[in-house]
Amino acid sequence: GDRSNFRYAEAPTNLKYTQYGNCKVYTDFKAKRFYPANYSKGWIARSYLYMSKTYNIRLSDQERKLMEAWDKQYPMDEKEKRIRALL
């Protein structure tokens, strides 16, 4: 999709999410950044941190700080906890 290989980023506070209808995501093609919906940020962060730790995938300092912040700001919900328990 439109995210391509753009880096994740925190959206500006004045961003109008009109690009994809009711979906609260935004692709900034000029800056090559993708702003995910809030409900996805924790899952994205934990996935990135897991892949970095398990498979030694390097994250830039900026990426790591963003993922660690999202992990804390958007903790696992009950559904994600149940899924993790099965793995």
Predicted TM-score (pTM) of this structure? 0.87
Rounded CA separation 66/10 (Å): 8
Residues 20-65: tens digit of each pLDDT: 888 889 999 999 999 999 999 999 999 999 999 999 999 999 999 9
Rounded CA separation 70/61 (Å): 14
Whether 75 has a pLDDT exceeding 90, the answer reads: yes
Rounded CA separation 1/3 (Å): 6
Domain ranges across the chain: 1-36, 38-86
Q: Which residues contact 31 (CB under 8 A, 6 or more apart)?
A: 9
Whether 40 contacts 48, CB under 8 Å:
no
